[in-house]
Amino acid sequence: MNTIEPEKISAAAEALKALANERRLHILCVLLEGKKNVSELQEATGINQSNLSQHLGKMRALGVLSNKRDGKQVYYELSHPAYKKIIEALKEIFCP
């Protein structure tokens, strides 16, 4: 039997916290389509800019999202292909 390091379990639990919020999950579903800037995310989700920025910041801090600046725009995307697989699985189960 393989033992899993407690740090990895803790990191996984922290990342899953991002999915435990309806608005963050909505943002992540939109990001399945590819990278988006704040305006695009706001339009797609209907979340006001202040709340959206807080959610994006939390997911960046958890390592779920990464961002890249292009001029004045900041684009967000899923930071790892594993997150895409998780979101796709949830979408398939709950939104077939």
What residue ranges do the domains of the chain occupy?
6-94
List, for residues 32-82, the tens digit of each pLDDT value.
999 999 999 999 999 999 999 999 999 999 889 999 999 999 999 999 998
**Quick check: 1 pLDDT over 70?**
no
Cα separation, 51 vs 68, in Å, equals 20
pTM, rounded to two decimals:
0.86
Higher pLDDT, 94 or 32: 32
- 6-94: CATH topology: Arc Repressor Mutant, subunit A (1.10.10)
More confident of the two residues 28 and 14 = 28
Q: Where are the beta strands (DSSP E) in 3-96?
A: 36-37, 65-70, 73-78
- Determine the Cα–Cα distance for residues 24 and 8; give it in Å rounded to an integer: 22
CB atoms within 10 A of CB 36: 19
pLDDT at 94: 83
